[in-house]
Amino acid sequence: MEEFMCVFNEARNNKEAFYTASQRLTDFSKTIRSKQLPCIGKLASEDITPSLRRIEKTHSLDFCNMKPRTWFFEGSTFLSPEFRQCGKPHIINREIKQQWLDSLPKPKRLTLAEKIMAWFTPKPQPTTTNTNLSSEETVFLKVKRKTIENKRTMI
């Protein structure tokens, strides 16, 4: 249960939504059902729970005899659009992928002068600190670093 709560909280923080499909609302745990907004279509009479009966009475509906593509959501019914496939999915996906690739920022190509300048520009050296060293060893490392830096400035 705790994992589901974490998933729903993270989804809410990222403004994401989950769409689930089920033949019965009881297929989901109460934790998930409490966080979802059901969109109900035609149901078999044995799958209608007392809570769904109350919804039927308050909105004067009959879930057993609903027409195809008719749905009940948050107090109103609507008709879903008829789906007609246009083209093949792999062609559509290829076109969408190409549009996405075209929208990505292009990496900046350096000119020869910029490459040479970058080669001669000193890069910052990462400093490593080891907490397991004794105080004498850290003092020694600090002195060694200073002497190396002094030699570089003299050159």
Confirm if 65 and 54 have CB atoms less than 8 A apart.
Answer: no
At 5 the pLDDT is 47
Low-confidence ranges of the chain (pLDDT < 70): 1-19, 23, 89-90, 92, 126-140, 151-155
Count of beta carbons in the 10 Å neighbourhood of residue 80: 11
**pLDDT for the residue 143:** 73
Q: Enumerate residues 6+ apart whose C-beta is below 8 A from 18.
A: 8, 11, 36
Local structure of 74: helix, strand or coil = coil
For residues 8 and 24, what is the distance between their CA atoms, to the nearest angstrom?
Answer: 21
Please report the pLDDT score of residue 122 as a whole number: 81
Task: Supply the pLDDT for residue 133.
Answer: 56
